[in-house]
Amino acid sequence: MASRASPWHTGAVATYPGALGVNAQIRYVGKNGTHAAGETWQTGLRIGWSEAVGPFDTSEGRVTLAEKTVADAFVTRSTANFAVAQGWAGTGVIRVPTDADQDAIAEAFYTWAVAIKAQLSNLYELGDVRLYPFTEDGTSATAPSIYTPTATTADPSGTSAMPLDTAYAMSLGTAVRGPSGRGRMFLGGLSSTVLDPGGYPKTTSMTALRTPTAALVTALRRGAEPGVPYTPVLHTRGTDTGSVIRVVRTNNLFETQRRRDRQVPPQWTETTI
């Protein structure tokens, strides 16, 4: 059962119409005292709201996302696994995004983090889960709700690490043809245990990442009331449409994220000639 503390302040708060769903980001940070200190990587999903009585069907392809109004919130509280600094709340009467909806999304990501932690290096720890209500242009309507873990249960546990800029990408497929019907989740902070001697990801590791991710997408398909039905989607920026995620794919290639190299300065050792 979640607990609620007193609001940080009272009075009128700003409201923001036209929010289409939640941009959920899970963030990992390099531990102090390791060579990954200062390095951060993140991944996530967009979860679109609907006006139906249940989640969008996986065969629907492109769908129109429901526009909801959200408001600034200034509340601290807790859930089973997080301390919560709530930045927004749904407003209205019918099928409104609730605090419980936000909590369920964050807890689903926590379950996913526990399931995949052996594939990730223990140079990192779970930083937080951040939930942003996104608008047509893809930006956040207001400040995020930040879920900071209260225990280390979901922290990565792999005892060796791949190079810090190495990532693994899982493909998210929809019923929509072409590039607009595909997305990817990039996973950084990999443990070297995912590496086959041939230089590609182990089949067992691909399964150990793909299966929990498919379970995450399934867990984020909700239609129970009170609250608002929601479904993981690929949002088409600049519109109110999304493509319903129906499959999670893995392949036998690693990726490189060069931008992450800039987060950690190199430490040089030299030999004088």
Task: Give the model confidence (pLDDT) of 255-265 as tens digits.
Answer: 987 666 667 77
Within 8 A by CB and 6+ apart from 240, the residues are 20, 64, 65, 67, 136
In whole angstroms, give the CA distance from residue 81 to residue 106. Answer: 9
In whole angstroms, give the CA distance from residue 173 to residue 209. Answer: 16
Task: Give the model confidence (pLDDT) of 212-236 as tens digits.
Answer: 999 999 999 998 777 899 999 999 9
Distances in Å between the Cα of 68 and the Cα atoms of 45, 63, 77, 156 are 19, 16, 23, 36
For the chain, which residues make up each domain, given as ranges? Answer: 3-262
Task: Give the model confidence (pLDDT) of 60-69 as tens digits.
Answer: 999 999 999 9
Task: Give the model confidence (pLDDT) of 88-97 as tens digits.
Answer: 999 988 889 9
Within 8 A by CB and 6+ apart from 108, the residues are 216, 219, 220
Angle at 12 between CA 11 and CA 15, to 5 degrees: 145
Residue 187 is encoded by which pair of tokens? 């996973």
Q: Indicate whether 47 pLDDT > 90.
A: yes
| Band of pLDDT at residue 181, cut at 50, 70 and 90 | confident
Q: Indicate whether 123 pLDDT > 90.
A: yes
